[in-house]
């Protein structure tokens, strides 16, 4: 919740975009630059995605980040939700047995 934390998130996001050359790693969509009042310039159609979702213990490290376009991110989000549900069920199962 601290400012430092969100600053680190921003750096991580930028590092992920740079490493992936501002391109979606799934469909090769090139990011379009847009402007927000606060940041000056940001990519409006790219998402820095956690490969292993944080809900499943994925870490905030560059190794766990990938650049996706909005479309691919939405698709992955649906798949992740499914995986997270299975993950949670297994966690519950482990607790109860």
Q: Which residues bind Zn ion (CB under 5 A)?
A: 24, 26-27, 29, 69, 72
Q: Is the Cβ of residue 26 or residue 83 nearer to Zn ion in the bound state?
A: 26
Smallest distance from the beta carbon of 29 to Zn ion, in angstroms? 4
Q: How far, in Å, CA of 24 to CA of 29, rounded?
A: 5
Q: Is the Cβ of residue 11 or residue 27 nearer to Zn ion in the bound state?
A: 27
Smallest distance from the beta carbon of 20 to Zn ion, in angstroms? 11
Q: Is the Cβ of residue 24 or residue 65 nearer to Zn ion in the bound state?
A: 24
Smallest distance from the beta carbon of 47 to Zn ion, in angstroms? 9
């Amino acid at each position: 919740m601290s400012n430092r934390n969100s600053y680190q998130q921003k750096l991580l996001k930028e590092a992920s975009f740079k490493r992936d050359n501002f391109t979606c790693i799934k469909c090769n969509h090139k990011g379009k630059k847009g402007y927000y009042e606060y940041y000056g310039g940001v990519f409006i159609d790219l998402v820095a995605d956690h490969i292993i979702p944080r809900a499943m213990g994925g870490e905030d490290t560059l190794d766990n980040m990938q650049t996706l376009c909005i479309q691919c991110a939405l698709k992955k989000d649906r798949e992740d939700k499914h995986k997270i549900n299975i993950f949670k069920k297994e966690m519950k199962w482990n607790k109860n047995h």
